Structure 1
């Protein structure tokens, strides 16, 4: 069973406006799919949300999201209702590693220029907002293997905090097939310094998935893919210590935790 948060808002909007509502998925790193009356408008903390013809909306909360959010739904009759959302805090694994050579902590100028260009390209792919409905299919495991890294963990290298780990690492031998976790369109195919051979798929409404450190990519930008379709193979490209698929889920520029919304058993 998929463990995404899925709820119908009209009933929830009857809750007292003074009390924040706590629901499954409303946590740091959480991914939420909800339904409003078709023809409504919706906004999360002032940001307009795309509303599907059936009333589906989707949003998420980052690793360090504030504890409170506010969802406003304006029905087809023009009446607006506000629902406070309580975003549960989570505790993250933070490790300090000291005594590393400086070159392993701070990239040289040439590498830094390339890293910045790659970040811009990735940001552009993740900013795409289409009316696709692939996000509603229910996340499937992209590969089979041992979980070697989890969302939200962070390392402090020589006293310098590094970017938190924003994905789920699935370790398996090089060449192990990687499949599309949701149906969608290939929005990026690249070979990056950190991510190595990387793919990004757009699933509509700002939802996208990323697959990194691949040994092979078997799709092209703009191609439509079905859920479960082979898109590449696990590898050890980029900055890694062993073969694995670094798998990410995000809502626009916000990285989300894919593990709570994946099936409990790899299938």
Structure 2
């Protein structure tokens, strides 16, 4: 994976000191999570949004599926010097995915179901909006389950012939009961049974980075539990809106869904 380095010139009064630098893993692109490190005490903002920087300098940036061709990174250096950099954001092409055979109520929910869905969306937004100080997001991501990739991030979904919002996760198809593990170390910020997602867990990895595991047959981790990377947290199932057993695995930076696949090893292992 590419490692991009942004060199920042030292201020005139500090020429004797080495130039400060911000480094990151990954390339700014639509759907990308970029993890980086700055000098301790640096303050950052992406497109006007303050970015948490750990005492050691770790930070994370997220670029949504439809992000513009560039982003604005505002930098306040530890000594107070400020600058703004324009970051080019690579454009990606997205597939169209057609899914048929879903129960009509799962495509066009009734009034009672819509009330439930509204409440569940608020709960999800609260869990995905956390800005905790943990740094589990700095670890190299591991596969949460083994199986066939049956759905990818960003594809436009057409359900029973009706266009719907893009697919914001990676689907791993496997038999019911297949183990699901934490892709990164973190804390379980949400556990529940949801209309569309079925049995789900959300893990918080710090700095707005979170992962979601949906359609489980069983949740093995409880809300508030701290889990290690690779720890078993659930079992694959077919709960919620599905056509067969699989894990829907998603990655977010706060409320922005991102593509987890570029961060995963090539082989499931």
| TM-score under structure 1 length normalisation | 0.89
Counterpart mapping for 1:87-98 below 5 A: 87-95=89-97
Aligned equivalent of 1:193: 195
Aligned equivalent of 1:108: 110
Aligned in 2, Cα 1:6/1:119: closer, same or farther, shift over 3 Å? farther
Let me know the Cα RMSD of the aligned residues.
2.0
1:147-204 CA distances to partner (integer Å, 9 max, x unpaired)? 0000001123577531110000011111010000000000000100110000000000
| In structure 1, distance between residues paired with 2:103 and 2:220 | 37
Aligned in 2, Cα 1:253/1:78: closer, same or farther, shift over 3 Å? same
Deviation at 1:83, TM superposition (A): 1.5
| In structure 2, distance between residues paired with 1:65 and 1:187 | 27
Aligned equivalent of 2:235: 233
| In structure 2, distance between residues paired with 1:253 and 1:37 | 27
- Tell which has more relative contact order, 1 or 2 (C-alpha 8 A, sep 6+): 1
| In structure 1, distance between residues paired with 2:178 and 2:101 | 35
Q: How many aligned positions are there?
A: 254
Aligned in 2, Cα 1:53/1:65: closer, same or farther, shift over 3 Å? same
| In structure 1, distance between residues paired with 2:55 and 2:41 | 7
| In structure 2, distance between residues paired with 1:67 and 1:185 | 34
Aligned equivalent of 1:39: 41
| In structure 2, distance between residues paired with 1:104 and 1:222 | 30
Aligned equivalent of 1:178: 180
Deviation at 1:90, TM superposition (A): 0.8
Aligned equivalent of 1:203: 205
Aligned in 2, Cα 1:99/1:242: closer, same or farther, shift over 3 Å? closer
**What are structure 1's unaligned runs of at least 5 residues?**
15-22
Aligned equivalent of 1:264: 266
| In structure 2, distance between residues paired with 1:153 and 1:79 | 42
Aligned equivalent of 1:76: 78
Deviation at 1:96, TM superposition (A): 6.1
| In structure 1, distance between residues paired with 2:201 and 2:192 | 7
| TM-score under structure 2 length normalisation | 0.89
C-alpha contact 1:8 1:35 (8 A) present in aligned 2:
no
Deviation at 1:94, TM superposition (A): 2.2
Aligned in 2, Cα 1:37/1:230: closer, same or farther, shift over 3 Å? same
Aligned in 2, Cα 1:225/1:24: closer, same or farther, shift over 3 Å? closer
Aligned equivalent of 2:128: 126
